[in-house]
Structures are given as C-alpha cells and as structure tokens.
Structure 1
Amino acid sequence: MATIRKLGAKWQCQVRKKGHPPRTQSFSTRADAAQWGRELEAQIDRGQFLPPPVHGEILAALLDRYCAEVSPTKRSGKSDLGRARTIKQTLGAYSLPALSPAVLAEYRNMRLRAVGPQTVIHELNLISRALRHAVSEWGVALAAGIPTALVRKPQKPPGRTRRVTETEMAAIGRASHSAVLGLVIRFAVETAMRRGEIAGLCWEHVDLQRRTAHLPRTKTDVPRTVPLSSGAIAVLKGIGPREAGLVFGLAADSITQAFDRSSARARNLYVGEGGASPGYLTDIRFHDLRHEATSRLFERGLAMMEVAAITGHKTLSMLQRYTHLRAEDLAKKLG
C-alpha cells in the first residue's frame, strides 16, 4: 500500500508490498506522488515490477539499497547501517565506475588515521559485499571488476590471548549485584558460546537428556548444536528447567555491562584488601571467556575439527590463535 507524507517542500511516497522491497520516491506535488504510487502498485499486481538498475547511481544509493534489502537478512544488519553511514560521508557521492582501487586505498589510509585496522576492514568488506551483490543480483556491470579486490586490506591486529583464571571468574561473580551473572560466566566458559548465543538461548532448544543446546541463529548464520558438559548441565539445572522462554533472561548488551561493572568492582575490592598483582582482574572482556573455553577444549585433547564443531568457527585458521596453551600443560605432555 502507498503511504504519502510531506517532507519539507517535497511529497514522499512509499510503496510497501509483501514479497517486494519497499520503494520510496519524492515529488514536487502530492498528486504526482499519488500517481506514482498507484502506477507502481499496479505494476506489482501485474507481475511487471522489477527493481530499477543502479548502473548510473552513486555508491550512497547502492549502499542504501543493500542495507534496505540485503542487510536485514543477515546478523550483521545493524552493523551494516552504521558502517554505511560512515562510508557515505566520504565516498557516497562517487559513481560506481569512479570507485577505483586508488580511491578506496586513499579512503583506507584516511580511516586508519582515525580508527583501528579491524574497523577499516569491516568497512571495505561492506563495500565489497554490496558491489558483488549488485553485480550478481541486480545486473550491474563493472567493466574494471570489483575494485575492492585490488585494495590491500590493513593488517589485522593480533588476537587477544588473555586467559581468565578460575579465581578471577569467581571474584567477578561475587562482585555482581545479580546472581545470574555468575551462572552466565560459568556457562560461557563451559560451552564456548558467544555472548549473543547465550542471551538468545531458549529452554525449548535445550535437551538435558541428550546434553545438547541447539542454536538456530548464530553470528555466522549457520545453526549448530552445542554439546553440554557436566558443568553446563549443572548451571541449567541450578536455574530450574522450564518448557519455554529465555534461559538466562538477560539481553546481550546487559551481559556485557554487568560483566564490565562487576570486573571493575572486583578489582577495586581486590586492591582495597591489599592485592598487589597488576594483571589480576584487569583487561578482561566477556569475550575472553570464549577464548578461555576454546583453549580448555584444546587442553583436553580435542582435535581442531571437534573444537570447531563446538565453537562454530567458520574456518580452522580462525582457531589458530586459540591454541596458546599454558606452558605447564605442554610440559606435562612432554614428560
């Protein structure tokens, strides 16, 4: 159905039909907007509607369309919107043919003066995904090919290797004002699940008899079933199994906020009691629990393919940085 509203000196018409991407156009008069809406709806009803090509459009238009039609189907959808806004501030006015590797390389260098390498990599990847989708799905022809393919990506920063000790986890749990956080921490280190996966875990996807937790939605968009250790089962039984609903009842952002506050509180308590170790309860992130859990899986002797099946890493190379085993554990294997 067509919706018409006045925006400044223009009249905007938006047509939304189930099964079709929303279309928006601005006009000088309300009558023109209404006529365009009626004609577009008629074309859709007759099966004659095709989204317009973006051959001559600028990068801003391409990113807008990608974020409207493609990003909502991906877990990275919200992140795409923010990155697109940043990209459009500098590159939005460039036509697609003018978006050369040299232009993108200059953008990369400019952004590296303001943000970290990983942020720039994410932005270049979004441009690449949008261009590739436009070529394969929207009929866009780029005579020179995908320009991002010729642009050197910034070197990724070294992955974090922070190992979280049992005493640190216990201290953070005790410092929390919520009893749930301690359970979340224990569950995270027992399962290697991501923050969002823990927050979204529902009782209907937990099988205590088979000792599994099914994750229909993951960061990689690939569902997986996680085996539950005895420790993870104990956490779930301690909460009290229910037939449906969220297991922990905390949003992903709430988990991070509670963890950060409790970590700082635990550190202050430690120092106040005379603790002198500079590294104890410092530089800890919730995601470090996933690293700790993954490292423990390797320390238990699991093969890399087995670990990948549990953690959901897309490539085995992504697990290389998780194998920083404690020296004493390696010494025991050496005999």
Structure 2
Amino acid sequence: MATIVKTPAGTWKAVIRKTGWPTNAKTFRTKRDAEDWSRRTEDEMVRGVYIQRSGSERLTLENALQRYLREVSPTKKPTTQKAEATKAQQLIKHLGKYSLAALSSEVIANYRDTRLGSLTNRGQPTSNNTVRLELALLSHLFTVAIQEWGLGLTYNPVLNIRKPSPGEGRNRRLTADEERRLLKEVNKHSNPMLGWIVSIALETGMRSSEITGLRRHQVDVKKRVARLLVTKNDSARTVPLSKLAAATFQAALQNPVRPIDCDLIFFGEPGKDGKRRPYAFTKIWGLLKSKLGMPDFRFHDLRHEAVSRLVEGGLSDQEVSSISGHKSMQMLKRYTHLRAEDLVVRLDSLKAKK
C-alpha cells in the first residue's frame, strides 16, 4: 500500500514501497490525484509493466541536450560537434523548457512547422534540410536516452512525424565569366594558399575540409594522386590529380614560408596553444563573393562543378564516385547537373557519327 501524507506546503505526497521495486514518490496538488496515481502505479508493478518515468519527467530538453553535447558529440568529428551545437541552440530556444516526457509528436510537429515558417539571420526562409537535421539530432537524443540513460522513455516521438522533404539539391554552376573572375581574384590574394585551394577544388571535386586537412606525405606529385585518410563518410580514398592539380600541389608543397615543423600543406597561424591548424579562409571567401557579385555561390559549389565536369568529360558513374567519394549513385546524381547546351553539342556529335 502507498503512503499518502500532506506536506507543509499543502500538497499531497504519495510514497510507494514495494518489494523488488525501487521506492517511488510523487507530489500532487490534491489527495485524489495522489491516490489515483498510487493505485495505477501499484497495478502496473503487479502486472510487471511498470516503468520508472520520473527521470524523463524531471529532465528538460535543455539539460538533456547539454548532456548529449558533453557525452555523445565528442565521439564525432569536430565539424559534426560544431554543427550539433548550433542545431541544439534552436531546439533549446523553442523546446528547451519541456521535459522529455512532455515532448509529444504533436509538440515536435508544431516545432517543425514553426521552424519551416521562420527566417534565418540573413532574412531567408529556414531550409527543409536544416529542419531535417535538427529533427535528426532530436531523434538521436531520444534513442540514446531510451537505450543508455534509463529515463523510463518508452518511444521516440520524432519517429511518428513527417520529415520535411530534402528538396532537389543545389544546381549552381559556374559560368565561364564567373570562373575567370573568381580565379583572377583568388590568385591575386596576398596569401597564395587561397588560389591553390580553389584551383584544387575545381580540378578534383574534393571538399574544403579534405583539402585543408592534407599533409605532405598524402600527396604524391609524381604519381599524381592524393590519399585522403579523413573524409566526410569515413571512407579513405585516393584521388587522381589532373596535370593542373598536380602542378598546383607542387607549388603548395614548395611554399617557402611553411615552418619546418609544420606538415600541413595548407596551414594557418599558430593558435593560443601554439599549434598550427589548417588554413581558415571562410571569412575572406565571404568577402570575395560579395566583391564579385556572387553572394549565392558557396565553396562547396566548386565540388558540384568539378563532379559535373567529370561526368561531362565522359567518365562513368562508377569512375566519378571513386574520385568524389559518393557512396550511392542517388547522392552522386544530386551533385551532377549537366548543362543542357552541352548535351545539345554531344547529341549533335552522336548523330554525326551515324
């Protein structure tokens, strides 16, 4: 039997002590509520279906996310850690005061709709993919809480709602004039590494982090290959280098201002701890885009451009994926956007051969 007592504050506290179960207590505004909860809980204990829910009822989403960022995020890549911290801020802003037990599918669906209708700091609508990634973080939080934290949660409410469609992906391509002006601008920058990085991205389709993370022993100019050990999908790959890419790497490897003790090909200034990290060019890239009148062009679009050119050059999907590192043909398809005018020329050449 449960013990029900009135507290000095005027509320009613129910305490259940049952052999084989941990002591359970909960406070209610009325005695009737305390009695109803006690009967229901004891009945669940008798039937062997009782779940201790107090942990999920006390833990707010804000505190749960903070624990996730402390315990789970550090097991992931630095870039992922930073991205998850940003997504967590939005979740905390809108849902942080809810307990995990109170986060129903309806509440989360309302969050989804609110985020899709909101504007970013740049005045642009929040993208479907941004909201999808925020929901993915929330979903994994629930998975960890259910499987590892023992909070008494019985299901993941995120799994019961519709996710925003991922969209068609970007199809931003460089025009010949844009490429000419872009290369001219980066090549005259005071730090030659900016021009080298842009040129390599356009020639190889490598990601920004893949290029800036390269060390000298990973590039073989004679064999014209770059060995990527750390990639986005954790699959190492060897990227063949065009003659221009190999020449660009040769120039970078012979950079006369590289410190003797620095193995990075593209290096930055020492941090407060004295360590050198990869060259960070995000700020100068943003200023450069604005100057050229290309504010919608992202560095990652160079990868789109490079992969599309490989396809246009006649390489098979399998050959392109081995260079770009795409694991699925579906993902590769999203990155390859062939110009209709180029296809017209190829169609004419095919007919001419008949």
TM-score normalised according to structure 2 size: 0.68
Instruction: Say whether the 8 Å CA contact 1:203–1:241 is kept in structure 2.
Output: no
Deviation, 1:184, is 1.5
Q: Are the structure 2 counterparts of residues 203 and 167 from structure 1 closer, same or farther at C-alpha, using a change threshold of 3 Å?
A: farther
Deviation, 1:141, is 4.6
1:164 is matched by which residue type in structure 2?
A: L
Q: What residue number does 1:133 align with?
A: 144
Q: What residue number does 1:262 align with?
A: 288
Instruction: Say whether the 8 Å CA contact 2:84–2:137 is kept in structure 1.
Output: yes
Q: What residue number does 2:96 align with?
A: 92
Instruction: Say whether the 8 Å CA contact 1:164–1:292 is kept in structure 2.
Output: yes
1:249 is matched by which residue type in structure 2?
A: F
**Higher alpha-carbon Rg:** 2
**Aligned match of 1:69 in 68, 71, 86?**
71
Measured against aligned partners, the alpha-carbon deviations of 1:145-168 in whole angstroms (never above 9, x if no partner) come to 211111111233442211114542
Deviation, 1:314, is 4.2
Aligned-pair identity in percent equals 42
Distance in 2 between residues matched to 1:258 and 1:291, nearest whole Å: 21
**1:229 aligned onto 2:242:** yes
Measured against aligned partners, the alpha-carbon deviations of 1:266-312 in whole angstroms (never above 9, x if no partner) come to 45xxxxxxxxxxxxx56322111110001011112223233223222
2:69 is matched by which residue type in structure 1?
A: C
Q: What residue number does 1:78 align with?
A: 82
* Runs of 4 or more consecutive aligned structure 1 residues displaced over 6 Å after TM superposition: none
Instruction: Say whether the 8 Å CA contact 2:266–2:278 is kept in structure 1.
Output: no
Q: Are the structure 2 counterparts of residues 183 and 80 from structure 1 closer, same or farther at C-alpha, using a change threshold of 3 Å?
A: same
In structure 2, stretches of 5+ residues that fail to align are 1-53, 120-125, 269-276
Number of residues paired by the alignment?
269
2:141 is matched by which residue type in structure 1?
A: A
Measured against aligned partners, the alpha-carbon deviations of 1:216-252 in whole angstroms (never above 9, x if no partner) come to 3223343333222222111111223589622122577
1:121 is matched by which residue type in structure 2?
A: R
Larger displacement relative to structure 2 (315-324 or 99-108)? 315-324
Give the secondary structure class of the aligned counterpart of 2:227: strand
Larger displacement relative to structure 2 (179-188 or 324-333)? 324-333
Give the secondary structure class of the aligned counterpart of 2:109: helix
Instruction: Say whether the 8 Å CA contact 2:266–2:279 is kept in structure 1.
Output: no
Q: What residue number does 1:181 align with?
A: 194
1:125 is matched by which residue type in structure 2?
A: A
Instruction: Say whether the 8 Å CA contact 2:60–2:100 is kept in structure 1.
Output: yes
**Aligned match of 2:266 in 234, 248, 252?**
248
In structure 1, stretches of 5+ residues that fail to align are 1-52, 268-280
**Aligned match of 2:169 in 159, 172, 182?**
159
Measured against aligned partners, the alpha-carbon deviations of 1:60-88 in whole angstroms (never above 9, x if no partner) come to 23211111111112121012112212212
Give the secondary structure class of the aligned counterpart of 2:100: coil
Distance in 1 between residues matched to 2:85 and 2:230, nearest whole Å: 20
Q: Are the structure 2 counterparts of residues 282 and 232 from structure 1 closer, same or farther at C-alpha, using a change threshold of 3 Å?
A: same
Give the secondary structure class of the aligned counterpart of 1:321: helix
**1:119 aligned onto 2:130:** yes
Instruction: Say whether the 8 Å CA contact 2:202–2:305 is kept in structure 1.
Output: yes
Q: What residue number does 2:60 align with?
A: 58
TM-score normalised according to structure 1 size: 0.71
**Aligned match of 2:209 in 188, 196, 202?**
196
Larger relative contact order (Cα-Cα within 8 Å, sequence gap ≥ 6) = 1
